[in-house]
Amino acid sequence: MDTKALLSRTGWLFMLCCLSARAQTPVKQIGNINKVTISGQQINISAENAFAEIIVYSPAVIRVKINQHPLTPDFSYAVVSTPAPTKIQTNQNSSEINIITDSLQLRITKKPFSLHFLTLSGEVINEDETGLTTSWVGNEVTTYKKMQDGERFIGLGEKTGNLDRKGEGYTNWNSDKFGYTANQDPIYATIPFYIGIHHQINYGIFFDNTFQSDFNFGASNNRFSSFGAKGGEMNYYFIYHHRMTDIIASYAQLTGYMPMPPMWSLGYQQNRYSYYPDTEVLRIAQTLREKKIPADGITLDIHYMDAYKLFTWNKERFPDPKQLSSQLDHMGFKLTVIVDPGIKVENGYAAYENGKKEDIFIKYSDGQNYTGQVWPGWCHFPDFTSARGREWWKAQLQSYLRIGVRGIWNDMNEIATWGQKMPSNVLFNYEEHPITHLQAHNIYGLQMARASYEGARDGLQKRPFLLTRAAYAGSQRYSAIWTGDNRAEEDHMLLGVRLLNSLGISGMPFAGMDIGGFTGNPTVSLYARWMQIGAFIPYFRNHTGINTKSSEPWAYGEEVLEITRNYINLRYRLLPYLYSSMYEATHTGMPVMRTLAITNTFDPNVYDTRYQNQYQFGQAFMVAPFESTKEFGPIYFPEGKWYNLYNDSITSGKQEVITPLSLKSLPVYVKAGSIIPMQSQLQSTAEKPTDTLSLHIYKGDTPNTFMYYEDDGETFNNEKGIFYQRIITYSPANKKITLEKVNGAYVSHFRVIRLMLHGFEQLPGIMVNGAPVTVQTKTYSFLAPISRFDPQGFSIPAEQCLIHEATFENTNQAVNVDL
């Protein structure tokens, strides 16, 4: 063979080897687009190695669905909305497809398939990483996005770490993590929604896939961010708005809004693992009342049961639970009980026998019921992905509701079992389309919360309180959430703040943490600081574990008792503000507890680790939490003017201020222009406040609006239009406060409005609907004095604000106040 022929043959062999290696690569790319079908707001694509479907859900939301095989019919436990009629433009040529709404454009390149989300002016919002895009390694599917210069990432719900998640990776696999560390991942909940921020642009991505999922925001690479799952389809919703508040609102519209909670659930909750017997429960309740500590709830942990068996009572500890709940109710307390999903395998045990008969337990692939070990011993587990399983659970819950239980606490619903290794071959009904544990695991908690909410709602015919530990996107439709078994440590207190802020971004407005820490014993100062912060979070629950010292407010000395009582008292006076903020969450998804990034998205300082724990409580307050051991702390004031809550001193925004810290008061500030409705002091929400609503207005330079809301706080009459809704506007330019005409059929409890003006110059009088009203100048304290209990003994006076006060009748008609 001559040299030329030899070289030619060698070249062909080399090319064949390369082609063979490429064909056998373990990474499968989508490849080039072969066929495109456009039908209204839907574009169907067939490519070399995959199928894709693009649906315009709204001008600002586009869904992307990709699979190696023909796409499966739509089904989601998380998404409750459907595509809205949207005007779009579509065009294509040999190299690309273009989809344009009035908010954004999507450019799809054909060779190979790649997605590019752009503003209408052509700026990159988010785009696939060239050469990687979406691909598979076996059944694992991942989408790779080009990381933009300076890009930040926030969200993902209950994730530890910093506010800005850049440089980190996270896994979604709901896990029972007792005493988790401050950087542990994963923990209890899966909410695969995040927000990306760069170049004055922000966007959201919700990856609706219930398999174990992984998110990478530049961890171990400097090229891309990515999200993927161990199985299932690539299925994500892309959201683009100019404002982060609108991104959160679009996500909430996709996955549903929380219902209005019962008013009592916003009060202080006293918990322990565990309070027993019934005399101890009553002692705790009585002591709260004797010491004038406002409270609304007491919770029973697993020791109320007979040998930890669900739907039973230990007759020695709780001989008459109905009488107990009645006594508590008479004292102004609502009773919450814990429920775990495990049903003990025990002949003669009613729930077990009935569950077997109704055939509602999850099973192995051979049809045998799965058995795992939890508190009662070996247990079967209801299948909450089955309508029959949910109906069974709802029926069982009625035994609690009939005796007066008003709150259901869903625990251990990851599913948690000893060993934490449920086999993959356990099957779930999944609405008559069986799936394995791999796909069902992350939604088990969501579906348990759903069954509990529906059962409690039906049984009570009043708003129930539901709490869950495990969750998936959409859980807000049924339940509040708390952050599990935290530690009594300074860093856990601040981590808890970040967890709640992140849950708020991610569609879970009603969230809390174990105040004081679940494991271990807090120091006196840590407990005091944590209780102060607790007054400014949505779900205010004090809870500690077994084998820890008592953690009631009186257990840390008289000074701490005064401090904590001060802040619980403030919480109760703020309930009209908090309740109205909750109402906002039920209609817009806007959380009550808000990271500063929501309204200061492009201010780099809010992501600084020195300031990342600061947050807003509703639209008015900014809270700056610090370790209880700190004597000074740096506080960043965002744009605007900020009043010190306690003395009305004003700090201009866009600056850091090193602030002295004192255990007697938590750093709290009020944004200029704020409108804060408050009521008289209560010991529980079972009491009625006086008939005067105090309306605190803080002088500012920009107009502000507040949606004030009332209803009866316990029934579903609000869903029938029986509510009181009123827009209150402060307009500094024309020196006017306006209370618009009332919307709704509910009659307000408040007959008098007391206007309390902060930061205004001397006002000898004001005009209310054209009539003069006298103004009085007074001092006002949000807190009471704190006594020092030492040999000398002295009191620290409370800081005071100088306010102008005027009162007028509260009518349903519009009220115009001229200052």
DSSP 553-582: GGGG-HHHHHHHHHHHHHHHHTHHHHHHHH
- What pLDDT score does 794 carry? 67
Any domain includes 647: no
Any domain includes 606: no
Look up residue 25 and give its two tokens: 């690569």
Verify that 356 and 477 share a domain, yes or no.
yes
Domain end (from 592, 607, 629): 592
Cα 695 → chain centroid: 28
Any domain includes 610: no
The pLDDT of residue 6 is above 90? no
Q: How many residues does the chain have?
A: 819
- What pLDDT score does 11 carry? 47
Verify that 178 and 212 share a domain, yes or no.
yes
Cα 595 → chain centroid: 12
534-562 confidence digits (pLDDT tens): 999 999 999 999 999 999 999 999 999 99
Any domain includes 370: yes
Confidence grade of residue 301 (pLDDT, cut at 50, 70, 90): very high
Confidence grade of residue 123 (pLDDT, cut at 50, 70, 90): very high
Residue 736 belongs to domain with CATH number? 2.60.40.1180
- What pLDDT score does 789 carry? 58
Verify that 557 and 703 share a domain, yes or no.
no
Average pLDDT score over residue span 313-335 = 98
Confidence grade of residue 12 (pLDDT, cut at 50, 70, 90): very low
329-338 confidence digits (pLDDT tens): 999 999 999 9
Confidence grade of residue 763 (pLDDT, cut at 50, 70, 90): confident
Confidence grade of residue 314 (pLDDT, cut at 50, 70, 90): very high
- Measure the CA dihedral 466/471/473/474, to 10°: -20
Average pLDDT score over residue span 625-640 = 97
How far apart are alpha carbons 77 and 60 in whole angstroms?
A: 22
Residue 261 carries which DSSP code?
P
454-469 confidence digits (pLDDT tens): 999 999 999 999 999 9
Average pLDDT score over residue span 151-177 = 98
Confidence grade of residue 764 (pLDDT, cut at 50, 70, 90): confident
Average pLDDT score over residue span 403-414 = 98
Verify that 688 and 572 share a domain, yes or no.
no
Verify that 325 and 458 share a domain, yes or no.
yes
Cα 505 → chain centroid: 7
Verify that 229 and 318 share a domain, yes or no.
no
Residue 135 belongs to domain with CATH number? 2.60.40.1760
Q: 3-state DSSP call for residue 253? A: helix
Any domain includes 368: yes
Verify that 320 and 465 share a domain, yes or no.
yes
How far apart are alpha carbons 514 and 544 in whole angstroms?
A: 7
* Close Cβ partners of 157 (under 8 Å, ≥ 6 residues apart): 189, 190, 191, 192, 193, 471, 473, 502, 503, 506, 507, 508
Q: Buried b vs exposed e over 482-499: b needs ≥16 C-beta within 10 Å? A: bbbbbbbbbebbbbbbbb
Average pLDDT score over residue span 517-532 = 97
Verify that 477 and 582 share a domain, yes or no.
yes
The pLDDT of residue 13 is above 70? no
The pLDDT of residue 9 is above 60? no
What mean pLDDT value characterizes the chain? Answer: 95
Domain count, the chain: 3
Alpha carbon of 19 to those of 11, 14, 112, 187, 463: distances in Å? 12, 9, 18, 44, 64
Domain end (from 592, 623, 653): 592
471-508 confidence digits (pLDDT tens): 999 999 999 999 999 999 999 999 999 999 999 999 99
Question: Looking at per-residue confidence, does 515 or 790 come out higher?
Answer: 515
Strand order in the sheet with 752-758: 675-678, 692-698, 752-758, 801-809, 776-780
598-606, Cβ contacts within 8 angstroms, sequence gap of 24 or more = 598/244, 598/245, 598/248, 598/505, 599/244, 599/245, 599/638, 600/638, 600/639, 601/197, 601/202, 601/243, 601/244, 602/197, 602/200, 603/638, 603/639, 605/636, 605/638, 605/656, 606/163, 606/636, 606/638
> What are the two backbone dihedrals, phi and then psi, of residue 389, each rounded to the nearest 5 degrees?
-65, -40
The pLDDT of residue 84 is above 70? yes
Verify that 213 and 99 share a domain, yes or no.
yes
Verify that 221 and 295 share a domain, yes or no.
no
The pLDDT of residue 169 is above 80? yes
Containing structural domain, residue 692: 675-818
Q: Buried b vs exposed e over 324-336: b needs ≥16 C-beta within 10 Å? A: bbebbeebbbbbb
Cα 629 → chain centroid: 28
- What pLDDT score does 762 carry? 85
- The share of the chain scoring above pLDDT 70, in percent, equals 96
How far apart are alpha carbons 367 and 519 in whole angstroms?
A: 40
CB-side neighbour CA atoms (13 Å) of 623: 26
- What pLDDT score does 765 carry? 86
How far apart are alpha carbons 555 and 550 in whole angstroms?
A: 6
Any domain includes 669: no
Nearest Cα residue to 259 out of 449, 441, 91: 449
How far apart are alpha carbons 54 and 421 in whole angstroms?
A: 37
Residue 549 belongs to domain with CATH number? 3.20.20.80
Alpha carbon of 647 to those of 298, 759, 770: distances in Å? 35, 10, 32
Any domain includes 131: yes
Verify that 384 and 437 share a domain, yes or no.
yes
Q: Which residues are catalytic?
A: 411, 414, 485
Look up residue 647 and give its two tokens: 């003395």
Verify that 281 and 237 share a domain, yes or no.
no
Contact 174, 411 (CB under 8 A): no
Strand order in the sheet with 105-110: 89-92, 96-100, 105-110, 113-118, 124-127
Alpha carbon of 293 to those of 4, 512, 570, 683, 684: distances in Å? 96, 20, 11, 7, 9
The pLDDT of residue 805 is above 90? yes
Average pLDDT score over residue span 580-608 = 98
Any domain includes 443: yes
Confidence grade of residue 793 (pLDDT, cut at 50, 70, 90): low
Domain end (from 208, 242, 276): 242
Q: Are strands 511-515 and 480-482 parallel, antiparallel or unpaired?
A: parallel
Look up residue 46 and give its two tokens: 């067939």
The pLDDT of residue 135 is above 90? yes
The pLDDT of residue 685 is above 80? yes
Cα 727 → chain centroid: 26
How far apart are alpha carbons 814 and 703 in whole angstroms?
A: 18
Confidence grade of residue 781 (pLDDT, cut at 50, 70, 90): very high
